[in-house]
Amino acid sequence: MTGSLRSSPPRYRKEHHRMTSIGILGAGRVGTNLAGKLSAAGHHVTLGGRSPEDTAARTAGLAPRIAFADQRTTARTADIVINATPGDSSLDRVTDLRTELSGKILIDVSNATRDDGDGLPGALCYPGSSLAEKLQAALPDTHVVKTLNTMLFMVMTAPETLATPPTAYLSGDDEHAKKTVTGLLGDLGWQPERIEDLGDITTARATEAMILIVPHILRRHGFKPFAVSLAR
């Protein structure tokens, strides 16, 4: 009896931290940042760019365990897929992968805004709606979860570096998918009390609208880490 009790915690930890195959669409700062942290947490990560050779060349020095592939292969071979492509073109890019994403969780971390010409976010591409809603409507067989789009990319994987604890918001129609994403957020360093489940996918229009404050902050304070968070 005693020996059995002592052996239970290690088995639980192993199951709780089981490795997952994660594909990341987009090999820019957001995608590579997430890839490094998720790989370090023990997940099998594939980083998908326009071509595997181009992606590997632009991400030299990244964790050696990370694989590189084109985006279609990345979506097809992963259990969970993260959309880190530019938000203004995400809808066309990601919906082109409808077959590969069928039955899977798609974590959308992008913001769809127009280019004002200064490199900073402009007006929303989908006012009155959201990129996440558009993706869910176009991908009915995929579970879309919106999160991590209310902060600069470096905070996504290091929330503890901010003086004020930041908030990670969740939006999605499928409760199991949101629980799975909550577990991955934990691997990125997010404490459960700092994760706010807003409800179904329509709530993503609220968090996506938060991007409208970002260019004003960046113009005044420069490219310093911050998040748009809930204070209690």
Cα–Cα distances (Å) from 130 to 111, 156, 196, in that order, read: 9, 20, 18
40 pLDDT more than 70:
yes
Spatial contact of 59 and 32, defined as CB atoms under 8 Å apart: yes
Q: What mean pLDDT, rounded, does the chain reach?
A: 89
pLDDT given at position 57 = 57
134 pLDDT more than 90:
yes
pLDDT band at 19 (very low <50, low <70, confident <90, very high): confident
pLDDT given at position 127 = 95
Per-residue pLDDT, averaged over 163-191, amounts to: 98
- d(C-alpha 179, C-alpha 167), whole Å: 16
pLDDT band at 10 (very low <50, low <70, confident <90, very high): very low
pLDDT given at position 65 = 82
pLDDT band at 136 (very low <50, low <70, confident <90, very high): very high
pLDDT band at 118 (very low <50, low <70, confident <90, very high): confident
Question: Is 90 or 15 the better-scoring residue by pLDDT?
Answer: 90
Local structure of residue 212 (DSSP, 8 states):
G
Q: Which of 41-55, 73-87, 94-108 has the lowest mean pLDDT?
A: 41-55
Per-residue pLDDT, averaged over 121-140, amounts to: 97
Local structure of residue 151 (DSSP, 8 states):
B
Q: Name the nearest CA neighbour of 34 among 189, 192, 225.
A: 189
pLDDT given at position 63 = 63
pLDDT given at position 116 = 76
Q: Which two tokens stand for residue 154?
A: 């470096």
pLDDT given at position 222 = 92
